[in-house]
A = this chain, B = another copy of it.
Amino acid sequence: MSLEEKLTELKKWEFKKSAYELLMSTAYFDDETIAPKGGQDYRYERLALMSGEIYKISSDPKIKALLYELKDEQIDEVTRRKVKLLLKSFEDLERIPQEVYEEFTKLSLESQSAWAKAKSANDYGIFKPYLLKIIACQKKMALYRRPDSDPYETMLDDYEEGMDKKSYDAFFALIKKELSPLIKAITKKAAIKDDFIHAYYPKDKQALLMNDINKLLGFDGSWGYMGVSLHPFTSGFSNNDVRVTTSYDEYNISSAIYSIIHEVGHAFYEHQIDESFEGTILKNVSSGMHESQSRFLENYIGRKKSFIKNYYPKLVSLFKENLKDVSLNEFYKAINIVRPSLIRTDADELTYPIHILIRYEIEKGIFDESIDIENLDKVWNQYYKEYLGIDVTSDDVGILQDIHWSSGSFGYFPTYALGSALAAQILHYMEKEKDVETLLEKGDLKAITDYLKDKIHRYGALYDLDTLLEKSFGERFNPRYYIDYLKDKYMDLYDLKNDELM
């Protein structure tokens, strides 16, 4: 086969795989948003079969041989990266027996469903047997893939190429050292008033606001769709078909606003990756990088006063009864309030990484067996007491709050804190080139998302984290920007002096 024929062969295979993946994404989105529960058994049995079909395609020995051949050819940078990532996934995958993979898919769907039931019944007991099975299954799969590695290292690397326990340990140690005293100092200050955030906000009217916010952000019906699900998420079907979901808390207006801005941050990434990467492995951006974009929009843009100004008049007009006497500045302060709390997704920017630190510690403990997995709920509660000083009052706001573990996503959480830190670094460099405040005052979000496209989005998975940062900003990952950003912002907001941090 000539090089050209080999590349054509690869393209054909990529196309086929992308067709199967599109249908699976569609089915999962449907399942999470609108599908009647009655059809779940029928659906899950068939989704398991289809994931077996994708397994077959993804481990096609002819393509593997082709990739080995291509590796030694004179190929361009894009193809070289594809071949590298694909070979990694082939090598990982072929070590997992197909029946184990199918078992995992089915278990994962059942487990997600059990999690949803357990959460709404506020009963960890319903979910526990599934969680233990999922842990065992994930461990087994990680050991099939890399028999000589610590399973958790394997999982961490899945979500962020190159990040390992050593780097995360250092990162979280810095967070603990620098942020814990700040949080402690803030809890001693007078509380910011935010009762109006928790007034009654009916969801139909919230939805009207979300449409406006989407429009402001440039999340457009021609390439995006917003649905409603239990847990908000984003799914990029293709560059011009990106789905996000939101969920409404009728007693917390901040919840839907900031979860939709977050998901739209993800959506822009999916939308703005180089079109020539569509339907290929180069769309599979690492979790930390992806999260940097959602966090960037949610916190570093969305929580600025200059941004809030754009949606606040509409919000007040929709909910006069709650907000007629609340100034923009009071609202700004309220949605940036720092208050150690139980729910990660509703956590403020400052305590958020502590929620992640807790999950990271628990995941590490699960897989190095230093934690008794029979008592994960109790361990959870102890950590919340220890790190955030609060009592977990029930399972649904404790160990049952997140969907991740129910689908076997261990090693994912740490990338959330990593993403926040990356976003701070990106903001630092953006501000060198753009007058962000003025852009937000003018409601010109396009200048911001264009910058992100240029520096980050368009590259997709072409580079690993540090390579991309070096290329776009001339500096590798550096968590210092994150710590500095948080300290500056919150010492100012709470009018703290350095000596109060002792």
Which of chain B's residues have a CB closer than 8 A to the CB of A24?
Answer: 23
**A225 contacts the other chain (Cβ, under 8 Å)?**
yes
**A218 contacts the other chain (Cβ, under 8 Å)?**
no
User: Out of B42, B223, B242, B278, which one reaches A240, CB within 8 Å?
Assistant: B42
Within 8 A of B (CB), among A24-67: 24, 26-27, 29-30, 34-39, 42-43, 45-47, 49-50, 53
- Scoring A residues 218 to 229 as 1 if CB is less than 8 Å from chain B, else 0, what string do you get? 000111110100
Q: What are the 9 A-B residue pairs with the smallest beta carbon separation, nearest first? A: A39-B241, A38-B240, A19-B46, A42-B238, A38-B223, A23-B23, A19-B49, A39-B238, A38-B222
Judge whether A43 and B22 touch: CB under 8 Å: yes
**A489 contacts the other chain (Cβ, under 8 Å)?**
no
| 18 more CB-based (< 8 A) A-B contacts, given A35-B237, A36-B221, A39-B223 | A15-B46, A16-B49, A18-B46, A20-B50, A22-B27, A22-B42, A23-B23, A23-B26, A23-B27, A27-B27, A29-B30, A35-B225, A36-B223, A36-B225, A42-B239, A42-B241, A42-B279, A43-B238
Give the distance in Å from the alpha carbon of A221 to the alpha carbon of B35 in the complex. Answer: 9
Which of chain B's residues have a CB closer than 8 A to the CB of A237?
Answer: 35, 39, 42-43
Judge whether B241 and A43 touch: CB under 8 Å: yes
- Scoring A residues 237 to 256 as 1 if CB is less than 8 Å from chain B, else 0, what string do you get? 11111100000000000000
- Scoring A residues 456 to 483 as 1 if CB is less than 8 Å from chain B, else 0, what string do you get? 0000000000000000000000000000
Which of chain B's residues have a CB closer than 8 A to the CB of A38?
Answer: 222-223, 239-241
Give the distance in Å from the alpha carbon of A240 to the alpha carbon of B42 in the complex. Answer: 9
Of the A-B pairs whose beta carbons lie under 8 Å apart in the complex, a sample of 23, sorted by A's number, is: A15-B46, A19-B49, A19-B50, A22-B42, A22-B46, A23-B23, A23-B46, A26-B30, A27-B27, A34-B225, A34-B227, A35-B225, A35-B241, A36-B223, A36-B241, A37-B222, A38-B222, A38-B240, A39-B223, A39-B239, A42-B239, A43-B237, A43-B238
With A42-B279, A241-B35 in contact, is A49–B15 under 8 Å at CB? yes
Q: Report the minimum CB–CB distance from A310 to chain B (whole Å).
A: 24
Q: What DSSP secondary structure best describes chain A's contact surface?
A: helix
Of chain B, the residue at the smallest CB distance from A42 is B238
Which of chain B's residues have a CB closer than 8 A to the CB of A279?
Answer: 42, 46
Which of chain B's residues have a CB closer than 8 A to the CB of A227?
Answer: 34
Which of chain B's residues have a CB closer than 8 A to the CB of A239?
Answer: 38-39, 42
Which of chain B's residues have a CB closer than 8 A to the CB of A45?
Answer: 15, 19
Of chain B, the residue at the smallest CB distance from A15 is B49
Give the distance in Å from the alpha carbon of A412 to the alpha carbon of B399 in the complex. Answer: 54
Give the distance in Å from the alpha carbon of A29 to the alpha carbon of B26 in the complex. Answer: 10
Of chain B, the residue at the smallest CB distance from A27 is B26
Within 8 A of B (CB), among A4-18: 15-16, 18
With A15-B49, A46-B19 in contact, is A240–B36 under 8 Å at CB? yes
- Scoring A residues 436 to 459 as 1 if CB is less than 8 Å from chain B, else 0, what string do you get? 000000000000000000000000
Which of chain B's residues have a CB closer than 8 A to the CB of A19?
Answer: 45-47, 49-50, 53
Judge whether A224 and B36 touch: CB under 8 Å: yes
Q: Report the minimum CB–CB distance from A269 to chain B (whole Å).
A: 16
Of chain B, the residue at the smallest CB distance from A22 is B46
Q: Report the minimum CB–CB distance from A244 to chain B (whole Å).
A: 11
Q: Report the minimum CB–CB distance from A18 to chain B (whole Å).
A: 6
Which of chain B's residues have a CB closer than 8 A to the CB of A49?
Answer: 15-16, 19
Q: Report the minimum CB–CB distance from A42 to chain B (whole Å).
A: 4
Which of chain B's residues have a CB closer than 8 A to the CB of A37?
Answer: 222
Give the distance in Å from the alpha carbon of A43 to the alpha carbon of B236 in the complex. Answer: 12
Which of chain B's residues have a CB closer than 8 A to the CB of A23?
Answer: 23-24, 26-27, 46, 50
